[in-house]
Structure 1
Amino acid sequence: MNLNQTMWYQAGVFFILALFTMKFVWPPLIGAIDARRQKIADGLAAADQGQAKMQDAEKRVQAQLAGAREEGLTHVANAEKRAQLILEEAKNVANAEAARIIAAAKAEADNQVTKAREELRDQVAVLAVKGAEQILKREVNASAHADMLSQLKTEL
């Protein structure tokens, strides 16, 4: 065989193979590559979008945490104020109760002093009558001299 003829056959086969490849093999490969490229681009766009959403969500979470912290601090401050008010109220009630108890004790003491004075006056009156009896050597009638004895009680 002739070398020129072989080269022409090989060139023809190559040309036919190139046409076949360009017509039937190349378009599906290019389509698959384009589809893959589009899928990768969509995936990267979705990843960027997801990253942006995640950052927005983190910002919202931080804002909510800051709000919750402030609300918690407000609740703590309110609770402390309320505790102070309750403590002050309890102190006022305790002071009022103590004052009432002291007043009652003073009144009771005054009553006992008055009662003791009355008893002492009665005893002094009895002793005075007995002393007068012994001085006069006769019995003084207490009912007959009640005015004089009551005057003596008031003087004592």
Structure 2
Amino acid sequence: MNINSTLFFQAIVFLILVWFTMKFVWPPIAKALDERAQKIADGLAAADKAKTELAAANQRVEQQLTASRNETASLLADAERRAQAIIDEAKSRANVEADKIVATAHADAQQQLVQAREALRDQVAVLAVSGAEQILRREVNAQVHADLLNRLKTEL
């Protein structure tokens, strides 16, 4: 065999192999590579989209937290104001009740003072009659001298 013919047949076989590879093997490999590149590009786009959505979600969460904190602070301030108002109202009611109790006690003391004066007048009248009876050494009629005793009570 001749080396030229061998090289010629090897070149023809190589060209057939190249044609067969380009016709039947290369398109599925290129298609698989293109699909893989498309999947990677879609994955990166989805990751970027997810990253922006995460940032937006974090921002919404921060806004909601800020709103919740502000609402909580305002509710706390309202509660403190209501508590202070309740305390002030209770103090004013307690002062009014204390004034009523003092006024009632004062009225009771005045009434007891009047009753004590009346009792003292009665005792003084009885003592005066008893003293007059002993001075005169005779019996004094209490019914006859009732006017005298009543005048004496009013003067005392």
Per the normalisation by structure 2, the TM-score is 0.95
Equivalent position of 2:110 in the other structure? 110
Q: For 1:63-74, what aligned pairs fall within 5 Å after superposition?
A: 63-74=63-74
| Separation in 1, partners of 2:90, 2:9 | 115
CA positional deviation for 1:13:
0.9
Equivalent position of 1:121 in the other structure? 121
Deviations 1:47-81 (Å, cap 9, x if unpaired)?
11111111110000000000000111111111111
Letter in 2 for 1:128: A
Equivalent position of 1:40 in the other structure? 40
Equivalent position of 1:84 in the other structure? 84
Deviations 1:105-133 (Å, cap 9, x if unpaired)?
11111111111110000000011111112
Per the normalisation by structure 1, the TM-score is 0.95
| Separation in 2, partners of 1:23, 1:62 | 59
CA positional deviation for 1:45:
0.5
Equivalent position of 2:95 in the other structure? 95
Letter in 2 for 1:125: A
2:141 maps to 1:141: yes
CA positional deviation for 1:95:
1.5
CA positional deviation for 1:7:
1.2
Deviations 1:6-61 (Å, cap 9, x if unpaired)?
11111111111111111111111110000000011001101111111111100000
CA positional deviation for 1:96:
1.6
Equivalent position of 1:29 in the other structure? 29
| Separation in 2, partners of 1:151, 1:3 | 174
CA positional deviation for 1:98:
1.5
Per mean C-alpha deviation after superposition, the further-off stretch among 133-142 and 53-62 is: 133-142
How many residue pairs match? The answer is: 156
Percent sequence identity over aligned pairs: 60
Per mean C-alpha deviation after superposition, the further-off stretch among 95-104 and 34-43 is: 95-104
CA positional deviation for 1:137:
2.3
Letter in 2 for 1:140: V
| Separation in 1, partners of 2:6, 2:103 | 137
Equivalent position of 2:56 in the other structure? 56
